[in-house]
Structures are given as C-alpha cells and as structure tokens.
A and B are shown apart, each in its own frame.
Chain A
Amino acid sequence: MTHRGQILFFAPAFLLFLVFVLIPSTQTLIDSFYSHHGIKHQFVGALYYRYAMTDPRFHQSLANNLIYLFWTLWFEVVVGLALATALEKNTRTNHLLRVAFFSPAVLSMVVVGLVFGFLFKDGVGVLPGMLSEGRALVTTSVISGWASAGFFMIIFLAGLANIPEEVLEAARLDGANAWQTFWRIKLPLLKEVIYVALLICFTGAFKAFDLFWVLLPNQDHASIVSTLLVKEVIKFDNKGYGSALAVILTALVLLTVAAMIGAKNLWLRRERNRA
C-alpha cells in the first residue's frame, strides 16, 4: 500500500479518536486544575488531587470498585469459563442453553438495573432486602455476572474450539480423565483467552457505572468512583473535582492494564526460560 493510501485508511479513525477521545480527555485534564462556578473559572492547581487523597468518599468508592472487581471475577469470568466448559459439546440442547445464557448480555445495563431494582425493592419487591448496605455490592456483582457471564462464555467457547483435537485425543489415549484434561490441557491452552477475559473484567470493573447508578442511587456506601464523579459534576456542579476523579480513574485503568501486560510478559519470559 502506498503512503497516501495508509494515510487515507488511518485518517478517519484518527479523526474520530481526536474528536471523541483525545480532545475531551485533554479538556478533562485541564478542567481538573480549575474550579468552575457558573461561567467563571479559576486556576486551583492540584487542589482537587490533594483533596482526593484525603476524601473518605473517594477511598470508599475505590474500595467498592475493588470489591466489585473481586466478585465479578468470580461471577463473570469463572462462571463464564464453567459454562463454556459445560456447554462445549455441539449438541442441540447445548446450543439452546448457550443462547439462553448469552441472551442477557444483549440487554442494556440500565434495563437490567431497572428490572432488578424493582424485584429487590423493599416493601413492594419480590426479594426485598437484597440491596441493603451489607449486601448491595455482592447483589450488584451477581446481577452483573448474570448479565455478562454469557459474554465470557462465548469468548471461552471460541478459545476451546481452537484447541487442536489431536491434543485432546492424545490426552484421552494417555488415560486422562475429564478433570485432568481440563486442568492440564484446556486451561493452559486457554491462557491467552483468559488473559483477554481478565483484561475486560478488570477494566470493566473500573468503568462500571450504569448498573450502580440505576440500582443504587444516593447510596454512598455502595458508590464507586464513576458514580461519585458523575455526582460531583451533575449534582454539585463541581466540574473540577469530577474531572480530577475522572483523570485518577483513567490513570488507575491504564496502570491496571500496564500491570497486567507486565505480568503477562514476565510470565511468558519465565515459561520460555523453563522451556
């Protein structure tokens, strides 16, 4: 391809990235150093970042993000992997069950939040008390798992389909049972897929917003960083602090991704050395 052709292919995507990601992100970064009162702006330096370091609400929200991440790892990735393994064989029943488990993944999280919010509503709901202070985070994670496990199941099914049949056949000839085949053959061969799933799950836990916003409004004990920052901007009209939280959240996601890539590279190097 000619240089001009490359530019032509690159330009539309870059233009969209520039308009919808780069410029707003830079503006958010700039906004985080200003206080905004109506149309008046005032430079406040790192005030909002310093405040975030000592803000108990931010600390609690961050802790809630981590708890949510822990539970979604189980309810989304582990359950998704279990479903994929259980429904791996191409039978008619399995096809039907795959569709059934995947179907919640096509629903909007706002709709999911509204439906479960009604089911769990104290006083009038079918299962009241599920969103109480002690249970709210686990309940939200279970709902998230219900909605997303099917998506992870599809990713793992694609990974399982790529495992060469000869490898599995050889394991069977060597007398490996189903558990040994899964643990010693399938799981190691799925490591790239698991890595992608973990990456989606980790970044998803930090990016989560809609389900919490709809299901747990005005519940500080169950707020996460994204709901806290939206509350700052929308309710308090405090664009500066909201932007600072957005920058911190972005930094956290980037750090998580970098840490995961680093861990993967380290692990690959060790594998290579062992070989």
Chain B
Amino acid sequence: MKFRKGFWMALLLVAFLLTGNRLALPQSSPNRLRFAHTFTTGSEGAILNAAVAEFQQTHRGVTIEQIVSNSEVYNTVGWRLQFQGRHPPDIFFHWQGFKADCCIDNGWAMDLTPFLAPGFLDEFIPSTLRKRNGGVYFLPQSVDISNLIWYNRDLFAQLHLREPQSLEEWRQQCVAIRRAGILPLAQGNRDLWPMGNLAAEFLGQSLGLEASGRLFQTGSAVLPEQVQGLNTLVFLLENHCFDLPGVLQAGALFSLNDIDAKVLFLSGRSAQHFLGSWFLADIEDARQKNELRFSVGVFPVPAGAGERDAMTAVNTGFLINPRTKNAKAAVEFLELLLSRKYQSEFARLGNLSARRDAPEFTNDPLAKQMLRMLASTSELVPPPDTGYAPEQASVFYEMAGKLLAGKLKLENAAAYWSKEKANLARKGL
C-alpha cells in the first residue's frame, strides 16, 4: 500500500518536473527583446517581419519577440496591464498624449537621448517630437488624422456638389444629398469613439486646442457657450443625415460599429463617411480586390465661420522600457524600423509617416492630399481617448452619444457634462 502511494506521488513529481517549465514565463535577457504592438494586418506584419529579420541579421544573437495585441484591447487595458506582470515588454507601441505621458510618469518609459544616433531626430517632422522632463521618450512612427470626410466622387458629381469650403456649406450639402434620396453619412457609433472624436473636432474648431483641452481636465465646469460647437451634431441628426428609409433606419447609428459603417460606405450605400486617415488602407484594399465601384475623395471637416482650422490627430510611435537589459539594441531596432526603408513600405499601406521625407513615399493622390492637410492645419487637437484621462474622454463620448441619440438637448449639454465631471471628481478622478 505504502509502495503504491509512494509510486503515484513520485509519478506526479516526475510529471511536474518534466512539464512544469511550460508554466514559467519567458525571462527577460539582453539577447531577447520583447516588442508589444498592434500591427495586426498581414501586410503590416510582413513589413515588420522584414525589419525584425534584418535587425537579427545585423545583431547576431539578439532576437525580437513580437507581442501582437488587438488595438482596442491595447488602448483600453493592454497598455497598462503589460507593466503589471513580471515580464513587461522592452519596446512598446503607443499613442502620443495622456497614455504615453502616463507611461513616462510611472517610470515605464526611458529617455532615449543618450542612445540615439546623431541626427536621427532631425529625420522627423518637428511637431511630432515632444520633449518631456527634458528628454525624448517617444519616437513617432505615423500621424493618424482622426476625422476626415470620405466621399463618393461620382455621387457628388451627379448632384453637382463640390468639396465644401465651410462648415455651413457642408451642412447644406448634407441636406441636399438627403433630399436627393441618398444617405448622406454612414456612421456607426456603437463604441462611442467614432462620433465622440468628431465632436472633439467640432469643439477644437470652435474653442481652439487649449480652451477645448481645459474642458477635459479634472473638476473644471463647462459653460453652455463652450459646447455650441456641437450644434452640427444636432443639425445632422435633426436633418436625418444618419438614416434613410430602406438603407438605415433611425437609431441604427448606435447599433453599428465603425467597421459596419465603413462597409456600408464602401458598398456605395452612402455619399459620405467620417473616419480617420487609416481608412485609406481599406480603400486601397477594396480597390485591389476590385470591390470599389466608385471614385473616393476626401476633405477635412470644414471649420465654421470665425472658427479655427483645427484637426483631430494623434501621433503613434514607440517607447522603450527602462527595465530592458539591452537599451542600445532596442533603440537600434527602432532606428531601423523608423528608417526611410521601412517607413516608405508602411506609407504604401496608407500610413502617414512622421518622417520629414514622407511626401516622397507615396504617389497616391489621397495620401498626398492628407499630408497637405496636415501641413496646412493651424492646430492639431488630440482625440479624447488618447489625449486625455480615459474617464474624462468617456464622459465626453457619452455626452456626444446622448446628443446624437436625441436624449440630451444641446442647451442642457454643458450642465450634463459639468455634472458628470463633478461625479468623477467625487470619485477622486
């Protein structure tokens, strides 16, 4: 009996010794760099893999392990949870703004200045580089414009419409499109950020970067005149610009997500679609698959009379963890990835590179147009979910959602927003 019991115990022990190592987490080492990012498409992955292969060839013995995350998961929880484990990444992707600053303030990112090759920073558009605590922590890869109006050129030509020069003109065009029996805008706001970002742009245009940014800070009260810029959302809703019998019923805005909405636009069921610069990659994809039956144009969200020419945009790029055991190699990998060679490849996928030589990377008229827009805009406003504290962004997105659902009147929006901010303050947020 004793022998049998001992035998089973020994068997369990041997099994654990043989397989228990599989439970162990990978160890950090100078020869193994963990790279967390959100490049999920095959074409992005191919460019990244090529950069990794080239780096590994020139740095014998050093390997790059990629940790690929879904962008939404990374944006909500991944970006901070990855530092709560015992093996955080060495190199990680980020959106410049509140979250990248949080990483710096929490000691999750290091000053890269001592490791950077001389002149490397001069290769980037100066506005994409921001010093913090006197150091450079964030290396930019691309600029994402959050809100652009993509339109069906053929439909516009058919209705004798031009690219609008002012917000007022564009609003009237939307009404005219609706009267012609065409859905003016295919939008999906199930996740609140698509229309929330647009609302932030209207706010930025009416108030400017600093004044609109102050509204997202803890505790500050909001005055009714400060949210008047959101009247365009109400105008579009009241004129049924998001719904059309037989295409989309009223209220569908909150049932569809951003992907549903872009599919509707690409299938030709609406005249226009709000989305960021990353939509260019989808258009290119649809073109290559011969699924696009019309010509696509793009223009920025026009500013109203007397308003600022602000644009919502965010830089994306990379930071390096100060706990890395090979900071030099990590920086050298980023220098390679952000070099002209690989960034021109990313530009072919529709990326707007943060490099000075970006205009040379593309012949696509839409990409060139977006680069011109970026160069000519007077103010860049961050999208709330990357620019400000998540709870402040969330309250704003919910307010914009309520305006678009007709559950909140514009005259009550400031009071609602102030009340929600006061509630956050009571929770210590």
Contact = CB atoms under 8 A, between A and B. Distances in A.
Interface stretch (B48-56, B102-110, B311-319, B355-363): B102-110
Interface residues of A, number: 28
Contact of B391 (A38, A39, A235): A235
B2 interface: no
A48 interface: yes
B40 interface: no
Interface centre among A35, A123, A131 (most CB of B within 10 A): A123
Contact of B390 (A48, A220, A237): A237
Interface in A211-227: 217-220
Contacts, number: 69
A83 to B, nearest CB: 32
Contacts of B60: none
A236 B248 contact: no
A234 interface: yes
Given A51-B427, A217-B190, A234 B77 contact: yes
Interface in B245-261: 247-249, 251-252, 254-256, 260
A80 interface: no
B70 interface: no
Residues of A contacting B: mostly: loop
A242 to B, nearest CB: 10
A132 B406 CA distance: 14
Given A123-B252, A124-B256, A128-B255, A238 B429 contact: yes
Contacts of B249: 122-123, 128
Contact of A122 (B191, B256, B401, B426): B256
A131 B255 contact: yes
Interface in A182-203: none
Interface string A124-146: 11001101100000000000000
B31 interface: no
List of 8 A-B pairs having minimum Cβ-Cβ separation, nearest first: A123-B252, A122-B255, A236-B391, A122-B252, A38-B106, A123-B248, A35-B428, A121-B255
30 contacts: A38-B106, A44-B428, A48-B427, A51-B426, A55-B423, A121-B255, A121-B256, A121-B260, A122-B251, A122-B252, A122-B255, A123-B248, A123-B249, A123-B252, A123-B256, A124-B252, A124-B256, A128-B249, A128-B252, A128-B255, A218-B190, A218-B192, A218-B398, A218-B401, A235-B76, A235-B394, A236-B391, A236-B394, A238-B391, A240-B428
